[in-house]
Amino acid sequence: MIVVMKSGATEAQVQSTVARVEKMGLKANVIVGTERTVVAVVGDERVLDAPSLEAGDGVAEVMPVVAKYKLASREVRPESSVITVGGFQAGGGHLGVAAGPCSVENEEQIVEVAKAVKAAGATGLRGGAFKPRTSPYSFQGLKEDGLKMLATARDETGLAVFTEVMSPEEVDLVAKYADVLQIGARNMQNYRLLEAVGRCDKAVLLKRGPSATMDEFLLAAEYILDGGNERVMLCERGIRTFEAHTRFTLPLASVPYLHSKSHLPVIIDPSHGTGHTYMVHDMAVAAVAAGADGLIIEVHPDPPNAASDGYQCQDYAQFENTMRRIQKVQKALTD
């Protein structure tokens, strides 16, 4: 950590900063510059509330040098993690694709979708039973009935079931039926929920919050890892920016960034990441080209009549086309 003193900071202010650093059990190196004095702190800065040093007299700014996450970090674990859930594999050169409707609507539908996406090459089935909805008046999902239908679809296809869990007290119930617990973007910093899935033996797909920084995202993963659950996948699903022609802005540079900082697999969601069906194909293919370890895509047999998210679902023909293209691109990358 680097503490930058204000221009004109007194020697006493510098010494008081040094004293506070030493009180925290760390070592302070004072460097007197032409215009500013800086105090370089040596030791494990994760133990301290770094920004609080900023409150000291004469301190201009505190710049952390080391990220706070450890278990999620590639420095701690250099080899890429591979997450395997039945036939679904992501990471270390494996590309896992989960596809399916936004909401489970009925058993017949989810079984049919599962068969269709499997035939196209998917190894995971996504589908919402507990739906987080912006409005209390919108359809909230089929709940446990939906979970049972997902389990039936898995039994018939062997696909790994991905579904969202919204609350700590629902973790056991959802874990009873699902293979991968999805933490939605709105819950990325719901720490009780992260702790609860951290104690669970199911793999987790952690979606990035739409305004989360990368450090916040990796620290949310750290909560789960720290709870003892090592099977975490990081899902980039778009951030909130001034762009209005997409529902969210999908920054594919998250793939190389996260790969450089973390060993965890990176999954891209081109459906929420664009919010418009006509963009999903191009962004799915681009995500694979950027090195993503997996995709999660909304697919519905009849998007205009979907219970939710129809505007960003692919239909079967679109999804098949996307899968064909992805397989070719993947081959082009490894040739």
Distance CA 107, CA 109 (A): 5
165-190: b (≥16 Cβ within 10 Å) or e: bbebebbebbbebbbbbbbbbebbeb
Smallest separation, CB 326 to a second copy (Å): 9
Contact assessment for residue 327 and residue 123, using Cβ atoms and an 8 Å cutoff? no
Interaction between residue 325 and a second copy (CB under 8 A): yes
Nearer to a second copy, 82 or 286 (CB): 286
Distance CA 95, CA 14 (A): 52
Angle, alpha carbons 30-34-37 (nearest 5°) = 30
DSSP conformation letters of 288-329: HHTT-SEEEEEB-SSGGG-SS-GGG-B-HHHHHHHHHHHHHH
**What would you report as the CA-atom Rg of the chain, rounded to the nearest whole angstrom?**
23
Distance CA 238, CA 249 (A): 5
Which of 255, 266, 267, 296 is the binder for a second copy (CB under 8 A)? 255
Interaction between residue 66 and a second copy (CB under 8 A): yes
Which of 35, 79, 108, 201 is the binder for a second copy (CB under 8 A)? 35
DSSP conformation letters of 180-218: EEEEPGGGTT-HHHHHHHHTSSSEEEEEPPTT--HHHHH
**Region near a second copy per CB under 8 A, out of 51-59, 85-93, 116-124, 148-156:** 51-59
Distance CA 174, CA 147 (A): 7
| Encoded tokens for 274 | 């664009």
Interaction between residue 310 and a second copy (CB under 8 A): yes
Nearer to a second copy, 71 or 85 (CB): 71
Contact assessment for residue 255 and residue 290, using Cβ atoms and an 8 Å cutoff? yes
Interaction between residue 321 and a second copy (CB under 8 A): no
Q: Which of residues 174-193 bind a second copy (CB under 8 A)?
A: 186-193
**Region near a second copy per CB under 8 A, out of 108-116, 149-157, 172-180, 299-307:** 299-307
Which of 313, 316, 318, 319 is the binder for a second copy (CB under 8 A)? 313
Interaction between residue 47 and a second copy (CB under 8 A): yes
Which of 273, 293, 299, 316 is the binder for a second copy (CB under 8 A)? 273
**Region near a second copy per CB under 8 A, out of 66-74, 90-98, 116-124, 172-180:** 66-74
**Region near a second copy per CB under 8 A, out of 90-98, 120-128, 147-155, 207-215:** 207-215
Interaction between residue 145 and a second copy (CB under 8 A): no
Q: Which of residues 157-176 bind a second copy (CB under 8 A)?
A: 166-170
Interaction between residue 201 and a second copy (CB under 8 A): no
Distance CA 43, CA 24 (A): 10
Q: Which of residues 106-125 bind a second copy (CB under 8 A)?
A: none
Interaction between residue 240 and a second copy (CB under 8 A): yes
Smallest separation, CB 202 to a second copy (Å): 19
Interaction between residue 79 and a second copy (CB under 8 A): no
Smallest separation, CB 30 to a second copy (Å): 10
Distance CA 140, CA 105 (A): 11
Smallest separation, CB 137 to a second copy (Å): 6
Which of 14, 38, 85, 98 is the binder for a second copy (CB under 8 A)? 38
Contact assessment for residue 204 and residue 197, using Cβ atoms and an 8 Å cutoff? yes
Q: Strands 83-85 and 88-90, how do they pair?
A: antiparallel
**Region near a second copy per CB under 8 A, out of 25-33, 107-115, 118-126, 145-153:** 25-33
The DSSP 8-state label assigned to residue 56 in this structure reads: S
Smallest separation, CB 122 to a second copy (Å): 19
